[in-house]
A and B are shown apart, each in its own frame.
Chain A
């Protein structure tokens, strides 16, 4: 995934990625990523958990807007299945 992000960024299109494998993401050199220590196959979280999934998208959009340099991997530290999420306020991004 990191290699695809690099190819897209290379031609001038910004990217933001979710990472669940930090070492690999760092080794590949991804332009921007939100890292969560979650099981493979669940980059946005649990099935049926829309608020959690939207929180990941919200965090990714924030990073996309705020990143000033390449290679930032932000770690919100959400625990797998033990976190309480609030509905993200997307109007903040307007």
Chain B
């Protein structure tokens, strides 16, 4: 269950923390998405139909957030882990933990807003900029490949989308790792 890193993984984390390196990695990974993602239907698009102050908002991140009592993301499968964890909206940020060995989350551990800005969105609701927050937000782990991409596309992502709809969510705000 631990996300104990090897010295090589620790080195990789530091290396990927350099913005230019992250871009090169993205370029390489982008070249491999072919076949894993069906883009034939174009990019889906839904228009925002309400003013922001009437909107119910859900936050989603692939930064590996979850509650301590929830099972951590699988760090042993080299293809990653396409499952998700539901975070109740009233969770104090300091209770949220991160399991994700593929990026350096020390800054996000110290200030969750860096990756999962629940505090800022709460203030936006309090000041009337946004209507309300969803009953649950969702933590995923990015860095998935192979069969885990299929699981995400066919099961877990549509499942979360349906939960958002059942909750009456008007838009979702997504952040990567």
Task: Name A residues whose Cβ lies closer than 8 Å to a Cβ of B.
Answer: 1, 3-31, 37-48, 50, 53-54, 57, 60-61, 64-65, 69-71, 80, 90-91, 93-94
Q: How far is the CA of A50 from the CA of B117 in the complex (A)?
A: 10
Q: Can you list 13 A-B contacts with CB-CB less than 8 angstroms, sorted by A residue number?
A: A3-B152, A14-B46, A17-B175, A21-B26, A23-B29, A31-B44, A40-B16, A41-B17, A41-B63, A42-B107, A64-B52, A91-B129, A94-B129
Contact status B174-A41, CB under 8 Å: no
Contact with A24, one of B26, B129, B174 (Cβ below 8 angstroms): B26
Contact with B46, one of A9, A22, A45 (Cβ below 8 angstroms): A9
Interface residues of B in 85-125 (CB under 8 A from A): 103-105, 107-108, 110-111, 113-115, 117, 120-121, 124
Name the 6 nearest CB pairs between A and B, nearest first. A21-B26, A70-B45, A27-B30, A7-B157, A70-B43, A47-B111
- B135 CB to nearest chain A CB (Å): 15
Contact status B48-A64, CB under 8 Å: yes
Contact status A5-B22, CB under 8 Å: no
Contact status B30-A23, CB under 8 Å: yes
Taking CB atoms, residues of chain A closer than 8 Å to B158 are 7, 10-11
Task: Name B residues whose Cβ lies closer than 8 Å to a Cβ of A.
Answer: 16-20, 22-23, 25-27, 29-31, 33, 37, 39, 42-48, 51-53, 60-63, 103-105, 107-108, 110-111, 113-115, 117, 120-121, 124, 127-129, 140, 142, 149, 152-153, 157-158, 160-162, 164-165, 169-177
Q: How far is the CA of A22 from the CA of B24 in the complex (A)?
A: 10
Taking CB atoms, residues of chain A closer than 8 Å to B157 are 3-4, 6-8
- B128 CB to nearest chain A CB (Å): 8
- A78 CB to nearest chain B CB (Å): 11
Q: How far is the CA of A8 from the CA of B164 in the complex (A)?
A: 8
- B144 CB to nearest chain A CB (Å): 9
